[in-house]
Chains A and B, each alone.
Chain A
Amino acid sequence: MFRSRRKRKAIGHPDLHPDPQWAPRAVPGRDREPDPENRMIDLEDVHLAFGEKVILDGIWLEVDRGETLVVMGGSGTGKSTILRIILGLLEPDAGRVYVHGVNIVHANQEVLDEVRGQMGMVFQGGALFDSLTVGENLSFRLHETGEHSDEEIERLVEEKLSFVDLEPRVKNLMPAELSGGMRKRVAIARAVMGSPRIVLYDEPTTGLDPITSETINELINKLRDQQNVASIVVTHDIGSALTVGNRFAMLKDGHITFEGDAHAVRTTDDEYMRTFIDARMSTT
C-alpha cells in the first residue's frame, strides 16, 4: 500500500550516451580489434591514494561481454577498491572509468544510478539486509524501481532462487538463518535480479568449504555462459580463479604487473606471479 515508487532517469539521458572521446583499448595478447558494442568496462590510467598511501597507480583494465576477468593480488593491494571505483562508490583521483562507454568519473547521481542499474555486485560477506527476508532482499531493487507488478516480482524471485539452486521456501527465511554458502548464493541471486550486463564479485569463495566454493564457481560460469554477462572476480583463491577466469590480472604496489589468459598464468616467468601461485597452491 505504501510502496515507494521511484521515477528513474530516462535511458535517453545525454550523459548516458557513450563518451565521443572513448575508444576501447585493445586487450593485451588478443588478435581481434576491440568492439565498442561488446566492451563493457574500461579503466584508463586510474590513480587513487588515501592520504600518503598510493593504492592504484595507473591502472588499465578492460572487460568484454561474456568474459570473466580475475583480479588477483595480496591482501590490501586495492583489488576491492577497483570494484568500488567501477560501481562509482569511490571516485579516483585521476583517470577515466567507462561503463559501456559512459564515463562515470564525476557523473551525477542520476547517471550513476542508471549505470549501477546495469551492474550487480556480490559483496564479500554477502551484504544481505538483515532486517529483510531473503525474498525481500531479492526483490529490493525491483521494488525500488517500481516498474514491476507484485506477481512479476514474486515470479522473478523464485526464478532467481532456482537459478542458484535454492528452493522457493528459502525466500521466507531471514539472512541470519542461512549458512555461509547459502548467503553467497542468495547474494548472487540478488546481484542478478535486474538482469545486469555486468556482475562484480568480491572474494566470492572466501571462507567457504571446497565443495561450496565449487558450487559458487559453477554459478559464476553458468551466469557468464547463459546470460553473457561481463564479470570481474576479485580473489586470491587461485583454484577458484582458474575455474572461472578467461583473463587474469595481478595487482601489486598499485600496478597491474601481469595480464594474460590461463595458459599465460601457468607458464609465466613473472617472479611475483609464480611466488603468489605457488604459495596459494601450497595452502589449499
Chain B
Amino acid sequence: MTTATLSRPVKSALLGVQNMSILVGRTAVAMVRPPLYWRDTFVQMDVLGVQSLVIVTLTGIFTGMVLALQSAVQLSKFGASLFVGQLVGASVVRELGPVLTALMVSGRVGSGIAAEIGSMRVNEQIDALEAMGTDPVKKLVKPRVLAGIIMLPILTIATDFIAIIGGQLISWLMLHQSSSTYWNAVWSGLYLSDIFTGLAKPVVFGFVITMVACYRGLTTTGGTEGVGRSTTQAVVLSSVLVLATDFFMTKLFIEVFGH
C-alpha cells in the first residue's frame, strides 16, 4: 500500500472531523443568536420526544423485566433476592436507561433527521433556504439539537421509571415481594450522584445524536441513494458515539464521585 492510498482515507476522515467541528461551532453560536425558531423547536420536541414515548416505554418495560428475571435467578441462589430492586434501580438509572434510550432515539429519530435534511439537500431545498437569506444551521440544526438536549433526559426518566416498574412486576410475580420491599431496595441502591449522572448523560447523548444526524443530512450527496447512505451512517455513527461517550463520561463520573 502506497503513502498516497494511505493518506486519502486519513485526509477524508480529518476533513470530516473538521467539518463536523465547524458545524458544532456554528450551532453553538446559533444557540445564543436570534431568530429563536421556537415553533420549529416545539415541533421537533414533539417528533423527537412525544412520538418516541411508545418505543422507549416498550424498551424500558422489557429491559426492567429481563434485568429482574436474570438477577432474581442468580441472587436467589444466595438467598439475596431482596437485592433485586437495588440491582435493577442502580443499573437502569446509571447505565441502561440513558444508553438504551439514546440508542432507540438514534435509530428512530437520528435516521429521520438525516433522511429529512438529506432529501432537502439533494432537492436543493437547503440552497433555497440560503437563497432566501435563511441560515440552515439556525432553521434546521438548532431546533433539532435543542429538542434532543431537552427531550432525551425526559425520555430517559420515562425509561428509568418504566424499567423499574417492569422489575417490580417480575419481583412480585416470581419472588412475591411486596411493593414497599422492592421500592425500598431501589432507593437504597441509588445515590444522588446516580440521579445526576443518569440525567447528565442523556443531555450529551441528545446533542451527539442530533448533531451527527444533522451533519450527515447536510453533507448528503448522490441523490436518493445518497440519502439512504447518510441515514445508515447517521444511525451507525451516532450509536457508536453514544457508547464511546458513555464510557468516557462513566470514567469521568467515577473519578469525580468515587463510585
Contacts and interface: CB of A to CB of B under 8 A. Distances in A.
A88 B34 CA distance: 22
Given A4-B37, A6-B34, A84 B127 contact: yes
Interface string A1-13: 1111111000000
Interface in A76-120: 84, 87-89, 109, 112-114, 116-117, 119-120
Given A141-B133, A144-B134, A4 B36 contact: yes
Main secondary structure of the interface of A (DSSP, over half): loop
Contacts of A127: 123-125, 127-128
A89 B127 contact: yes
B147 to A, nearest CB: 14
A4 B133 contact: no
A60 interface: no
Residue from the set B35, B133, B135 with the largest chain A CB neighbour count within 10 Å: B133
Nearest to A140: B132
B88 to A, nearest CB: 41
Given A3-B39, A4-B37, A116 B127 contact: no
Nearest to A117: B133
Nearest to A137: B128
A152 interface: no
A121 interface: yes
B123 A144 contact: no
Interface string B8-51: 00000000000000000000000000111111101000000000
A123 B132 CA distance: 12
B42 to A, nearest CB: 7
A121 B128 contact: yes
A228 B128 CA distance: 23
Interface residues of A, number: 31
Nearest to A84: B127
B135 A89 contact: no
A117 B125 CA distance: 17
Interface residues of B, number: 21
Interface string B219-235: 00000000000000000
Contact of A4 (B35, B120, B124): B35
A124 interface: yes
Contacts of A117: 133
A170 B256 CA distance: 61
A130 B133 contact: no
Contacts of B131: 87, 89, 116, 119-121
A7 B34 contact: yes
A109 B135 contact: yes
Contacts of A121: 127-128, 131
A147 to B, nearest CB: 12
A272 interface: no
A2 B39 contact: yes
Contacts of A84: 127
A74 interface: no
Nearest to A9: B133
A123 B128 contact: yes
B42 A2 contact: yes
Interface of B: 34-40, 42, 119-120, 123-125, 127-128, 130-135
Interface of A: 1-7, 84, 87-89, 109, 112-114, 116-117, 119-121, 123-125, 127-130, 140-141, 144-145
28 contacts: A1-B39, A2-B39, A4-B35, A4-B37, A84-B127, A87-B127, A87-B131, A89-B131, A109-B135, A112-B133, A113-B133, A113-B135, A116-B131, A116-B132, A119-B131, A121-B131, A123-B124, A124-B124, A127-B123, A127-B125, A127-B127, A128-B128, A129-B125, A130-B120, A140-B132, A144-B35, A144-B133, A144-B134
Given A5-B34, A130-B125, 8 more contacts: A113-B135, A116-B132, A121-B128, A123-B124, A125-B123, A129-B125, A130-B120, A141-B134
